[in-house]
Amino acid sequence: MGWLVSEDRFALEMMANAVGLIRKTVKSGEIVSGAMINAANTAVGKVGASPTERGKVFQEASNDSADDPFAVFVRAQ
């Protein structure tokens, strides 16, 4: 997640704590509440780690088409 900056540390920490709490709950055999899942989902979205949010983040295009399986597919057409 190369778009994160130092100001995002708190949001990243909150996401890590929310996901960690869910993992701890599952490992202990307890039921994960909907509120816990919603909190983790919101935290993931806040740092741009969900697929929807990731699509909104600008990322420079790579010129290396060797690592792009879609480029290989397009060239084969």
Would 52 be classed as within a structural domain?
A: yes
Of 49, 17, 13, the closest CA to residue 36 belongs to: 17
pLDDT tens sequence across 57-70: 655 665 655 666 67
Would 75 be classed as within a structural domain?
A: no
Radius of gyration for the alpha carbons in the chain, expressed in angstroms and rounded: 17
> Domain total for the chain?
1
pLDDT tens sequence across 13-54: 888 899 999 999 999 999 999 999 998 888 887 777 666 666
Would 29 be classed as within a structural domain?
A: yes
Domain carrying residue 41: 6-59
Could you give the 3-state DSSP secondary structure of residue 70?
A: helix
Of 36, 44, 41, 34, the closest CA to residue 11 belongs to: 44
How far apart CA 43 and CA 14 sit, in angstroms, is 7
Is residue 8 within 8 A of residue 49, CB to CB? The reply is no
Would 69 be classed as within a structural domain?
A: no
Would 74 be classed as within a structural domain?
A: no
pTM value? 0.57
